[in-house]
Chain A
Amino acid sequence: MRYFELFDVPVDYNVDLIKVNQQYLELQRVVHPDRFAGKGEREKLLAVQKTAEINDALAVLKHPVKRAEYMLGERGIDIRAEQQTLQDPMFLMQQMELREALEELPQSDDVEGAIEQFEQQVKTLDIEFSQQLAELLSSDSENDLHQAADNIRKLKFVYKLRDELARIEDSIFD
């Protein structure tokens, strides 16, 4: 779990993001290419590489889905480039309903209220799957890890909904 080590934080899905951010700034202070402006080409190149690595690590640890995928990948299950679809009719049905509701949002009588309510629904789902993920990812059982993979797939749906909501919000208020 190189990314966790990089910021010197315990390997845990519920990562301490405040600490990660602090460590990130401390690291940037010593590796950022601007610190090497007067140095040789190789040192500059090294600085760019290190900084890029640290930036990437931060982006992964900060993002709930990327963080989960990374942790799972480090444990031998890589779903980052998968094409596999989710086999959970109940969940998919619920998603379809949510998508329909989302599309009808702009026509609702109280658009802002509807957006807020929808945001709340998405948030509830987010919390539900994230909480389960934290447990599943700390488990040693193969079964739990595959369960975690499914959870990540679901979380991705939730984040897509969130992005779509943002897009609709943009189009309404522009």
Chain B
Amino acid sequence: MALLQIAEPGQSAAPHEHKLAIGIDLGTTNSLVATVQSGEAKTLTALDGTVMLPSVVRYHQNDIEVGAQAQQTSAQDPTNTLISVKRFLGKTQQEIEQRYGQLPYEFVKTDSGLAINTVAGPISPVQASAEILKTLRIRAEQSLGGDDDLQGAVITVPAYFDDAQRQSTKDAADLAGLKVLRLLNEPTAAAVAYGLDSGQEGIIAVYDLGGGTFDISILRLHQGVFEVLATGGDSSLGGDDFDSVLVDVFKSQTNIHDLNAHELRLFINKAKACKEALSSYESVNVKLELREQSHTVTISRDEFAQLVMPLVKTTLRACRRAVKDAGVSNEEILQIVMVGGSTRMPVIREQVEAFFAKQPLTSIDPDRVVAIGAAIQADILVGNKPDSDMLLLDVLPLSLGLETMGGLVEKIIPRNTTIPVAKAQEFTTFKDGQTAMSLHVLQGERELVDDCRSLAKFSLKGIPPMAAGAAHIRVTFKVDADGLLSVSAMEKSTGVQADIQVKPSFGLSDDQVAQMLKESMSNAKEDIQARMLKEQQVEALRVLEALEVSLATDSALLNEQELAQLREQMTLLASAKEQAQSPDEIKNAIERVDAASSEFASRRMDISIKQALQGQSVDEV
């Protein structure tokens, strides 16, 4: 093993094989992309030199504008300019209207869920998010240049995002043509950026208040391991809500309450500017010109602080619960890391400092810190740093449960369980000859189904007919490292695998994503076949390279025959990669290599587990 890893610290083993990987912070207000170059993480700029891409998408009949230009014209074209769509991911119209009140959009229901009517037709929050991601992908490809392909991206999500919101983010990445290496929680990404910088050990808290979401995470840093102990927050509380407090003030001061879409966007934009100005000035005059009148509203920093105090208190309550869930005390917390543009507000800094009795850290730009952490993780995931000790252990933010009799929720996996996690639960039939059963999966902390978020309804079919109570159906819930849920079910006595029909309550089915992807490609006149072929070729190369590395050290784990079989499949894959005309041919060859190497993989894992334990006991002697 050591032979392969001779390299200077901080350098990859083979610098010329540096793989391109990016980290993307898909924010409510702004989005940005970063990468690691020559061992240093940096944010990438657009052609005009800006780093931040306003998360604003304006739809024209035959064109789409993303970023600053779309933002500047938002008050002129409010209904076609989609702003802060991250808040709408994985939500229903009712939830959005209840939560955010008046918005300048016309919501419609489509086959693929909620959409907003624009001149370009109904656009889902996933599609709009995909446009933002696509813009960043193109920025990265242009500025990184070269012939190398982008290997993938780490995309950050609020830690408190539920399964529907995470799945929507992943769908958006697929639509944008990005391979997702990992969905990474924003506070964890920030901790990585800070932790690696300071080399500190111990417990830290990350307070992350963005444009539309709030997260608090408590982490333990120990020898490169970032272990999330607890997380909490509110995935629909952010800077936008502070703006909306000011919008209400404007409304009452001007005595104009029946705003149209243009006026509402004007008020929101003025509110945002006023809020930002209050971070530097004690008092701000806001001029509102509408309906041929001019109004001036004056707001002082103290007044503003008082108005938003209920919002600030909400975040502090979440902090208290997270600290408690983590099983630590405020005194044990070494540092408070501030993330997100909204933490620039003096009232936030003061209140957080008072709560933790410690001055929060703001040394890295709160707007960039998340993207930088994501880039560092992406760099490691594609294998640019084989010596890295870094490991991120994250948790499930909200409990997962099933609906039981009487509209109650039975928790299967409690919140703050370290992921990945798998839990099985047994159910039985309650009627003779019953062959189907339906399950309702929910996420949330409350006891009633109506108070939790509905994730999916599953029907288990093909249960062998038996007497009531005789069939034992084992339902397994799996949450992967991205925090995404999958469910499988089996009847135990017969071993019959029950069919599962997944009906996502929110988001898109795989087929819908594939369909949208096809449509978007044909619009852009990209050759989908060529693109998929290319993707499979990259994948094949990756699989072969990874196996060669493993075989170089551990081929002794296989006997001659096994080794020969594996080698044969690898040779077949190598030639398929060069000669195949269809992506499926390569895909099948990859699957055969996978099958031929599965025993090898399992033995390697057993050996490394043994070594890990022995290494530990040797250290202690």
Inter-subunit contact B594/A29 (CB<8 Å): no
Inter-subunit contact A51/B391 (CB<8 Å): no
- Whether A34 contacts B594 in the complex (CB less than 8 A), given A26-B616, A40-B547, comes out as no
With CB as the reference atom, state the residue of chain A lying closest to B395.
A55
| Chain B stretch 580-621: residues in CB contact (< 8 A) with chain A | 590-591, 593-595, 597-598, 601-602, 605, 608-609, 611-613, 615-617
| Chain A stretch 37-74: residues in CB contact (< 8 A) with chain B | 37-43, 46-53, 55-56, 58-59
Among A23, A38, A58, the most chain B Cβ lie within 10 Å of the Cβ of: A38
| B478 is an interface residue with CB less than 8 A from chain A | yes
| A111 is an interface residue with CB less than 8 A from chain B | no
Contact of A27 among B181, B223, B321, B609 (CB under 8 A): B609
In the complex, which residues of chain B have a beta carbon less than 8 angstroms from the beta carbon of A170?
321
- Whether A40 contacts B546 in the complex (CB less than 8 A), given A26-B612, A29-B389, A59-B417, comes out as yes
Q: Taking the nearest CB of chain A, how far is it from the CB of B75, in angstroms?
A: 39
A59 to B416, CA, bound (A): 11
Q: Taking the nearest CB of chain A, how far is it from the CB of B99, in angstroms?
A: 20
A107 to B312, CA, bound (A): 28
Inter-subunit contact A37/B615 (CB<8 Å): no
Inter-subunit contact B616/A23 (CB<8 Å): yes
| B109 is an interface residue with CB less than 8 A from chain A | no
A7 to B392, CA, bound (A): 20
A32 to B418, CA, bound (A): 12
Size bin of chain A's contact surface: 35 or more
Chain A binding site: helix, strand, loop or mixed by DSSP? helix
Inter-subunit contact A56/B611 (CB<8 Å): no
- Whether A31 contacts B593 in the complex (CB less than 8 A), given A52-B421, A56-B422, A173-B320, comes out as no
Render B361-393 as a binary contact track against A, CB cut-off 8 A, 1 for contact: 000000000000000000011110000010111
A46 to B547, CA, bound (A): 15
In the complex, which residues of chain B have a beta carbon less than 8 angstroms from the beta carbon of A55?
417-421
Contact of A31 among B594, B597, B608 (CB under 8 A): B608
| B324 is an interface residue with CB less than 8 A from chain A | yes
Q: Taking the nearest CB of chain A, how far is it from the CB of B18, in angstroms?
A: 14
A31 to B478, CA, bound (A): 17
A47 to B595, CA, bound (A): 15
Render B544-560 as a binary contact track against A, CB cut-off 8 A, 1 for contact: 01110000000000000
Render A116-140 as a binary contact track against B, CB cut-off 8 A, 1 for contact: 0000000000000000000000000
Chain B binding site: helix, strand, loop or mixed by DSSP? helix
Render B142-167 as a binary contact track against A, CB cut-off 8 A, 1 for contact: 00000000000000000000000000
Among B392, B481, B545, the most chain A Cβ lie within 10 Å of the Cβ of: B481
- Whether A58 contacts B418 in the complex (CB less than 8 A), given A30-B608, A34-B392, comes out as yes
| Chain B stretch 421-451: residues in CB contact (< 8 A) with chain A | 421-423
In the complex, which residues of chain A have a beta carbon less than 8 angstroms from the beta carbon of B422?
49, 52-53, 56
Inter-subunit contact A48/B480 (CB<8 Å): yes
In the complex, which residues of chain B have a beta carbon less than 8 angstroms from the beta carbon of A95?
none
Inter-subunit contact A40/B225 (CB<8 Å): no
| Chain A stretch 1-53: residues in CB contact (< 8 A) with chain B | 7-8, 22-23, 25-35, 37-43, 46-53
Interface size on B, residues (CB 8 A): 51
Q: Taking the nearest CB of chain B, how far is it from the CB of A3, in angstroms?
A: 14
A39 to B601, CA, bound (A): 10
| A86 is an interface residue with CB less than 8 A from chain B | no
Q: Taking the nearest CB of chain A, how far is it from the CB of B325, in angstroms?
A: 10
| B543 is an interface residue with CB less than 8 A from chain A | yes
| B91 is an interface residue with CB less than 8 A from chain A | no
In the complex, which residues of chain B have a beta carbon less than 8 angstroms from the beta carbon of A88?
none
Q: Taking the nearest CB of chain A, how far is it from the CB of B404, in angstroms?
A: 14
A109 to B423, CA, bound (A): 45
| A166 is an interface residue with CB less than 8 A from chain B | yes
Q: Taking the nearest CB of chain A, how far is it from the CB of B185, in angstroms?
A: 13
- Whether A48 contacts B609 in the complex (CB less than 8 A), given A37-B383, A38-B383, A40-B543, comes out as no
A2 to B481, CA, bound (A): 24
In the complex, which residues of chain B have a beta carbon less than 8 angstroms from the beta carbon of A174?
317
Q: Taking the nearest CB of chain B, how far is it from the CB of A51, in angstroms?
A: 5
In the complex, which residues of chain A have a beta carbon less than 8 angstroms from the beta carbon of B617?
8
A173 to B597, CA, bound (A): 56
In the complex, which residues of chain B have a beta carbon less than 8 angstroms from the beta carbon of A8?
613, 616-617
With CB as the reference atom, state the residue of chain B lying closest to A25.
B225
A-B contacts, 12 listed (Cβ < 8 Å): A25-B391, A27-B612, A31-B609, A32-B391, A33-B420, A37-B181, A38-B381, A38-B383, A42-B594, A42-B597, A43-B601, A56-B421
Please give the residue numbers on chain B whose beta carbons come within 8 Å of chain A beta carbons, in ascending order.
Answer: 181-182, 222-223, 225, 227, 317, 320-321, 324, 380-383, 389, 391-393, 417-423, 478, 480-481, 542-543, 545-547, 590-591, 593-595, 597-598, 601-602, 605, 608-609, 611-613, 615-617
Given A30-B608, A39-B601, 10 more contacts at CB 8 Å?
A8-B617, A30-B605, A34-B380, A37-B181, A37-B382, A40-B590, A40-B593, A48-B420, A51-B420, A51-B481
